[in-house]
Amino acid sequence: MCKRTRISIFVFHSLRKITMRKIITMLLTILPMLAYAQQSETIQLNEGWQFSQMNSDQWYDADVPGSVQRDLVRHGVLPDPFYGTNEEQLQWVEDVNWDFKKTFNVSAAQLQHDEALLQFEGLDTHAEVFLNGSRILRTQNMFIGYEVRVKELLVEGENNLYIRFHSPIEAMMPARDSFGYDYPAVNDHREEKLSIYSRKAPYHFGWDWGIRIVQMGIWKPVSLLLYNDARIEDYYVKQQLVTEEKAEIEHQLTIHALTKGDATLSYGYALNGKVLKSEQKEMYLAAGVNNLSFPATITDPQRWMPVNWGEQHLYDFFVTVTRGDHLIAEKHLRTGLRTVRLVQEPDEHGRSFYFEVNGIPLFAKGANYIPGEIFTTQQDEAYYENIFDQITDANMNFVRVWGGGIYENEEFYRQADERGILIWQDFIFACAPYPSDDLFLTNVREEAIYNIKRLRNHPSLAFWCGNNEIDEALTYWGWDKQYPKEVMQAWQEGYDKTFRQLLPLLVEEHDGTRSYIHGSPYDANWGNTEKFASSDVHDWGLWYGHLPFEAMAERLPRFASEFGFQSFPEMKTIRSFAPEEQWALESEVMQVHQKATTGNSLIKKYMEMYFPEPKSFEDFVYMGLVMQGNGMEESVEAMRRGRPYCMGALYWQINDDWPVVSWSSIDYYGNWKAQHYRMRNVLAPLALGVDEKEGMLHYYTLSDYLSDRNDLTLTVQVIDFTKGIQKEFREKVSATANASTIVKSYKLSDLLNEDEKAHTMLHAFLTDSNGEVISRKEHFFYWPNRLMLPLTTIESSVEYADGEYRVTLFSEKLAKDLFLEIPVQGARFSDNFINLLPGQQRTIVIRSPQLKAADRTAVTVKHMRETY
């Protein structure tokens, strides 16, 4: 987009009355009419790239942003990596160097600009960049955006850009060879462990849910910026103090001026399209970098609130620099005013671990997020909107960007800002020691500064965490038995240097408002529950520790930043990569799609603990989904009931980056597993919980709202699986704000006899004064292997419309965990894996643009009793 920004001071003054967005829009419409020399211009350089294997004459068109492997798949040179055992056929690509080339034109007028900056927002990873035969850049870090001054190298007419991407394997092998050991990077699926040497997304090298595709390429946009006089390189609205009465902020600006001299700085802010403040300052700009900082106070700020606590007010801040009657530079940013603090303070139990937002303690509900595509560049705007729809729909308020992925794109944080979702941001280091020599740390330093600056204006960004599990691993993962003392000691010292010294200093210097912890878990380990009282925990006692779901209630953490349970994706997704003859737990294709070495045996072990033996592979897949969903709901609910001792439940993991067996609650194609429906229920802003303990049943309200609800009725129905409602109890109850509270306790023996438990369930619901159901809680006394589930026939009918099918279901007897399937990927169901209560009629709405009335696409129904 070409921006012409020379205007008269008169026009500028009148424009200051409206928002920056409008200013920019108006500038773009008015200015081409002005007959002045253009001020700045951006030429996008994403089209017309070609790539080839080094020393080959075969050139292919390249999509930029993209990657070599993504394009080779597109051109049919490589097969669909997700299908069958094809993953293996992509592996050779990582060993080879790849060249990219492109020409672009620059006119004589464009060359008149004072300065030209080539901007590479992201190169993956070990690249040499040449412009017209001169090497202008060498990169070693995919997480840094680079800018190169190229004014002297540009020519009128055709210019040539050439980039060589070195194989990360070849580039890193000497480092490995000189160290003499392989690092304990078990998720790196190659014998030689090279991922830790390269500042490249760890998950590209494989993970225990991840396909390995070690990509190379231009993964973010490229452009050429031409400008005169000056540029605002950076703008930070630092929030020093925010209360209900006032926000004290500091405007921090980095202006790069090409010539020295006086200038006028104008700045201000708007809210909801209305300019609330606009001021001017005279100043002197030196040639080169000018760092400016000046305070400002906003009285009665409209504060940004997390979802369910109020609105997500976002202010538009703007700055312009003028010289005489020339507007020479401008910048706009959007942010919300709020405080977020991680509170780690000694208390009667140990030490707290919770987030306080605008001074109010917040129970963090949510999940761990991994990059949702192995081909990262497929994450476009629609992708981010979609994943945040799933986050919001499941009633989350917190998401952890886990350290084995990437620092996410702007759009990710923008979505979070707008929806009131808080973001826990790991620096990108996970599960292995990393080098800590000077060269490596210089690279890390530059990466950290770049990303702190890139993300610090987002109100959703709650805090920074040094890495995932490296501290825990150094102490507990048995490396000391595999490596000599000196190596262990060097890794420990390296850890301290990177995560206890370098990164916190950089966070303080370049952010200065957010909490930082050196790593997660902070102190605890899942095998040592005594530390649970003073830290966040990755509680893998469930799953790796073979503990039953029920155990999670007995070992509450202060904050669970990981815990999870695997399932296979539903058959629709399995069919997308495995032919029918491969539908078996240990088939070749299924094994390629199960990356966790103990995964299948653990699923089987747990299933034997809780379920009758499934009749078929398809039934096993279904049962596994139900097990994950119901078990995880139980665990999450226990944590939520456990507030204020426990103040967070972020499960592992919300999404997948390819079709695979994993801990995710949504599969790669966007199909909700049972777990995601269960999360929506248990994470509701006002949810109902139940704890069965020592012959008592305690009903809880679990509330995130900031005001009490006193108009509620709790109804508890005792339902026989075959005969229907046997008893019903009703109570007026109140839900205390921002708390988990027992609202009613029953003696179990008043509800039913011991011998009725195998064929009885409790159905509880909360209604408001209008009789609207606010939340439900269904409680079974056993898992299916001890239940006497009835055989039953489901009556169903479907109303077909374009984009929407309505399925009405009825059963005389209980149909537990009833699952509707439709062969359309990513279709959205109003509910699924439901308990269809005896004598109840339910309508489920299925939506997808792919659904057509005329197709009458088959909807199939399965419930628990049919599967064994």
Binding residues among 409-448 for ligand NHV as defined by CB under 6 A: 430-431
| Closer residue to ligand NHV in complex, CB, 126/538 | 538
CB count within 10 Å of CB 798 equals 15
Instruction: For the CB of residue 657, give the shortest distance to ligand NHV in the complex, in Å.
Output: 11
Q: Which residues pair with 106 in a beta bridge?
A: 157
Instruction: For the CB of residue 468, give the shortest distance to ligand NHV in the complex, in Å.
Output: 5
Instruction: For the CB of residue 596, give the shortest distance to ligand NHV in the complex, in Å.
Output: 6
Instruction: For the CB of residue 288, give the shortest distance to ligand NHV in the complex, in Å.
Output: 44
Q: Which of 348, 482, 507 is nearest to 427 (CA)?
A: 507
Instruction: For the CB of residue 479, give the shortest distance to ligand NHV in the complex, in Å.
Output: 11
- State the sign of the Cα–Cα–Cα–Cα dihedral 628, 631, 636, 637: positive
Write each residue from 554 to 583 as x if it is in contact with ligand NHV (CB under 6 A), else as -, in one continuous string.
Answer: --------x---------------------
Instruction: For the CB of residue 843, give the shortest distance to ligand NHV in the complex, in Å.
Output: 37
Spell 624-643 as b/e; 16+ CB within 10 A means b: bbbbbbbbbbbbbbbbbbbb
Strands (E), 325-369: 326-335, 340-343, 354-357, 360-362, 364-369
Binding residues among 352-411 for ligand NHV as defined by CB under 6 A: 404
Helix, strand, or coil (residue 473)? helix
| Closer residue to ligand NHV in complex, CB, 51/652 | 652
CB count within 10 Å of CB 564 equals 26
Indicate which single residue of 59, 104, 130, 540 sits in contact with ligand NHV (rule: CB under 6 A).
Answer: 540
- State the sign of the Cα–Cα–Cα–Cα dihedral 805, 806, 810, 816: positive
Inter-residue contact 426 to 468 (CB < 8 Å): yes
Instruction: For the CB of residue 402, give the shortest distance to ligand NHV in the complex, in Å.
Output: 6
The vertex-489 CA angle with 487 and 494, nearest 5°, equals 95
Instruction: For the CB of residue 599, give the shortest distance to ligand NHV in the complex, in Å.
Output: 9
**For residues 559 and 554, what is the distance between their CA atoms, to the nearest angstrom?**
14
| Closer residue to ligand NHV in complex, CB, 204/538 | 538
| Interface with ligand NHV: number of residues (CB under 6 A) | 15
Indicate which single residue of 208, 523, 619, 633 sits in contact with ligand NHV (rule: CB under 6 A).
Answer: 208
Piece of 201-209, 295-303, 327-335, 411-419 that binds ligand NHV (CB under 6 A): 201-209
Instruction: For the CB of residue 92, give the shortest distance to ligand NHV in the complex, in Å.
Output: 26
| Closer residue to ligand NHV in complex, CB, 193/251 | 193
**For residues 558 and 149, what is the distance between their CA atoms, to the nearest angstrom?**
50
Instruction: For the CB of residue 549, give the shortest distance to ligand NHV in the complex, in Å.
Output: 17
**For residues 760 and 764, what is the distance between their CA atoms, to the nearest angstrom?**
13
Instruction: For the CB of residue 208, give the shortest distance to ligand NHV in the complex, in Å.
Output: 5
**For residues 335 and 250, what is the distance between their CA atoms, to the nearest angstrom?**
13
Binding residues among 449-468 for ligand NHV as defined by CB under 6 A: 468
Helix, strand, or coil (residue 799)? strand
Piece of 206-214, 254-262, 669-677, 759-767 that binds ligand NHV (CB under 6 A): 206-214
Supply the angle between the helices 503-510 and 438-455 in degrees, to the nearest 10: 30
> Which residues, at least 6 apart from 43, have a Cβ–Cβ distance to it below 8 Å?
104, 106, 110, 223, 224, 226
| Closer residue to ligand NHV in complex, CB, 227/565 | 565
Instruction: For the CB of residue 597, give the shortest distance to ligand NHV in the complex, in Å.
Output: 10
Q: What distances in angstroms separate CA 596 from CA 165, 516, 563, 621, 624, one per listed residue?
A: 31, 31, 15, 17, 16
Instruction: For the CB of residue 403, give the shortest distance to ligand NHV in the complex, in Å.
Output: 8
Binding residues among 839-858 for ligand NHV as defined by CB under 6 A: none
**For residues 677 and 832, what is the distance between their CA atoms, to the nearest angstrom?**
7
| Closer residue to ligand NHV in complex, CB, 144/470 | 470
| Closer residue to ligand NHV in complex, CB, 230/473 | 473
Site for ligand NHV contains 209 (CB under 6 A): yes
| Closer residue to ligand NHV in complex, CB, 543/622 | 543
**For residues 377 and 65, what is the distance between their CA atoms, to the nearest angstrom?**
6
Inter-residue contact 781 to 634 (CB < 8 Å): no
Instruction: For the CB of residue 564, give the shortest distance to ligand NHV in the complex, in Å.
Output: 7
Instruction: For the CB of residue 404, give the shortest distance to ligand NHV in the complex, in Å.
Output: 6
- Nearest position to ligand NHV, beta carbon: 544
Rg (CA), the chain: 29
DSSP 201-215: -GGGG-BTTB-----
Binding residues among 647-666 for ligand NHV as defined by CB under 6 A: 652, 663
Place of tokens 């696409």: 857
| Closer residue to ligand NHV in complex, CB, 468/832 | 468
Indicate which single residue of 188, 426, 469, 637 sits in contact with ligand NHV (rule: CB under 6 A).
Answer: 469
What sections of 278-355 are H helices per DSSP? Answer: none
| Closer residue to ligand NHV in complex, CB, 207/672 | 207
Strands (E), 380-510: 398-401, 422-426, 461-465
Write each residue from 2 to 31 as x if it is in contact with ligand NHV (CB under 6 A), else as -, in one continuous string.
Answer: ------------------------------
Binding residues among 470-529 for ligand NHV as defined by CB under 6 A: 477
Inter-residue contact 201 to 406 (CB < 8 Å): yes
Instruction: For the CB of residue 128, give the shortest distance to ligand NHV in the complex, in Å.
Output: 32
Piece of 38-46, 202-210, 382-390, 808-816 that binds ligand NHV (CB under 6 A): 202-210
CB count within 10 Å of CB 438 equals 7
Piece of 236-244, 351-359, 538-546, 640-648 that binds ligand NHV (CB under 6 A): 538-546
Spell 60-78 as b/e; 16+ CB within 10 A means b: eebbbbbbbbbbbbeeeeb
Instruction: For the CB of residue 190, give the shortest distance to ligand NHV in the complex, in Å.
Output: 17
| Closer residue to ligand NHV in complex, CB, 242/465 | 465
For 168, what's the count of Cα atoms within 13 Å in the CB-facing half-sphere? 30
Supply the angle between the helices 674-682 and 617-641 in degrees, to the nearest 10: 20
Indicate which single residue of 98, 183, 207, 495 sits in contact with ligand NHV (rule: CB under 6 A).
Answer: 207
**For residues 92 and 89, what is the distance between their CA atoms, to the nearest angstrom?**
7
| Closer residue to ligand NHV in complex, CB, 483/765 | 483
Binding residues among 745-804 for ligand NHV as defined by CB under 6 A: none
| Closer residue to ligand NHV in complex, CB, 124/539 | 539
Piece of 207-215, 452-460, 639-647, 827-835 that binds ligand NHV (CB under 6 A): 207-215
- Footprint of ligand NHV on this chain (CB under 6 A)? 207-209, 404, 430-431, 468-469, 477, 538, 540, 544, 562, 652, 663
